[in-house]
Amino acid sequence: MSVAGLKKQFFKASQMMSEKVGGAEGTKLDEDFKELERKADVTSKAVVDVLGKTSEYLQPNPASRAKLSMLNTVSKIRGQVNSPGYPQPEGLLGESMTKYGRDIGEDNSFGGALVDVGEAMKRLAEVKDSLDIDVKQNFIDPLQAIAEKDIKDIQHHLKKLEGRRLDYDYKKKRQGKIPDEEIRQSLEKFHESKEMAESSMHNLLETDVEQVSQLSAFVESLLQYHRQATEILEEVTERLKERVNEAESRPKREFKPKPRQSFDYGDQEPSNGGYSAGPVSPPAYSAAAQAQYPPPPVKRPSVKSKPREPTCKALYDFVPENDGELGFYEGEIITLVRQIDENWFEGKLRGQTGYFPNNYVEVIVPLSH
């Protein structure tokens, strides 16, 4: 920085301290200028705030919002942008619905309905893509241009005006010590900056026709989006009504449980695991001998059957999702420990104990109460 530049910075700093600390009064700007500055300031704040809020409205997700801001308007005009480059929530929901609808089966009422709604949601995502791109091109980009050029120009000229005012006031108060020609040049520069600031603020306020046109384009894009969304939703609503009528007119199938498997343990005969001899016929006695000496009553050994353990059979596979749950496969026999509540059992299987829903099993031997 030159010596003259250093001196000017010193003059401005001294005058600022005199005004803030010493209460010295500087050159006053006229009321028309102040009113113009007030209007330009409010307009500038409106542009910046609406710009940010519009992007948030289109994409609440910060990552998607960043990608939205990087869309190239020129590419859009040339037809090179068909997608904003980020997934829409409607599209993600639609993908999930169509996937599981097809897994369930489109011949199933619920599965078919999921596919219908999923396809509609994916169409809504495409419409939302078009909305984002249109609003970016016709509303956000023009506002961004105002923020980056017009508003920055105003800020630059106002800052320069304040610096020249401080320089002029410092020299004016030291008239006699500072040459009159230097004071006159400072005054001319002050007026020059004031005119440039007024011109830049006036230009911003005179672009209200363009700003209203941009707002109109924004609303038209919204209207087009909602019209297309309404058409899509009306179509899927009619399709769902048809599915409801079909489901109601279809005769209900009664559930007939399969016959339960019975476990017959039979008579248990004591055995030591050795060779079992064949049956021996009792000795024959005459009728007289039998009458005189009736044979003693035969006592059969009483066999106490082992108490049957409470068990159940798995009707479906159960995959545990939480700690403490017991997993099993269809057809496995599970030992029941206790009933937790009306929906859950506690059981044992393969050396593990855990909880499982009672609608996944068929009780074979119930728990004793």
Q: Which domains does the chain have, with CATH numbers?
A: 27-249 (1.20.1270.60), 311-365 (2.30.30.40)
Q: Which of 263 and 100 is assigned the larger pLDDT?
A: 100
Q: Say whether pLDDT at 172 is over 90.
A: no
Cβ-Cβ contacts under 8 Å for 339 (sequence gap 6 or more): 345, 346, 358, 367
Q: What is the model's pLDDT at position 297?
A: 55
Q: Residue range 22-49: average pLDDT? A: 87
What's the per-residue H, E or C state across 295-348?
Answer: CCCCCCCCCCCCCCCCEEEECCCECCCCCCECCECCCCEEEEEEECCCCEEEEE
Which of 333, 337, 276, 270 is CA-nearest to residue 304?
Answer: 270
Indicate the length of the chain as a whole number.
Answer: 369
* Range of lowest pLDDT (128-132, 163-167, 283-287): 283-287
Q: Say whether pLDDT at 5 is over 70.
A: no
Confidence class for position 362, pLDDT limits 50, 70, 90 = very high
Amino acid code (one letter) for 154: I
**Each residue of 8-29: pLDDT tens digit?**
676 667 777 776 766 677 788 8
Backbone angles phi, psi at 178, to 5 degrees: -110, 135
Report the C-alpha gap between 80 and 70 in whole angstroms. Answer: 14
Q: Residue range 110-125: average pLDDT? A: 94
Which of 149, 172, 153 is CA-nearest to residue 161?
Answer: 153
Amino acid code (one letter) for 325: E
Confidence class for position 298, pLDDT limits 50, 70, 90 = very low
Q: Say whether pLDDT at 361 is over 90.
A: yes
First to last CA, the chain: 98
Which of 358, 299, 293, 286 is CA-nearest to residue 325?
Answer: 358
In the numeric block, which tokens belong to residue 335?
A: 């030992």
Q: Which of 303 and 230 is assigned the larger pLDDT?
A: 230
Q: What is the model's pLDDT at position 276?
A: 46
Q: Residue range 104-116: average pLDDT? A: 90
Report the C-alpha gap between 159 and 197 in whole angstroms. Answer: 9
**Each residue of 86-99: pLDDT tens digit?**
788 899 999 999 99
Q: What is the model's pLDDT at position 178?
A: 84
Amino acid code (one letter) for 195: E
Report the C-alpha gap between 92 and 277 in whole angstroms. Answer: 76
Which of 103, 100, 101 is CA-nearest to residue 113?
Answer: 101
* Range of lowest pLDDT (9-23, 27-41, 117-131): 9-23
> If you write DSSP's letter for every residue of 172-185 in order, what string do you get?
HTTBTTB-HHHHHH
The reported pTM is: 0.57
Q: State whether residue 363 is helix, strand or coil.
A: strand
Greatest Cα-to-Cα distance within the chain, rounded to the nearest angstrom: 168
Q: Which of 178 and 70 is assigned the larger pLDDT?
A: 178
What stretch of H or E contains 355? strand 352-357
> If you write DSSP's letter for every residue of 77-123 in order, what string do you get?
HTT--SS-SS--HHHHHHHHHHHHHHHH-TTSHHHHHHHHHHHHHHH
Q: Say whether pLDDT at 69 is over 60.
A: yes
Q: How far is CA 146 from the centre of its chain?
A: 33
**Each residue of 302-359: pLDDT tens digit?**
445 556 899 999 999 999 988 889 999 999 999 999 998 889 999 999 999 999 999 9
Contact present, 366 and 310 (Cβ < 8 Å): yes
Q: Say whether pLDDT at 196 is over 80.
A: yes
Contact present, 345 and 356 (Cβ < 8 Å): yes
Q: What is the model's pLDDT at position 65?
A: 61
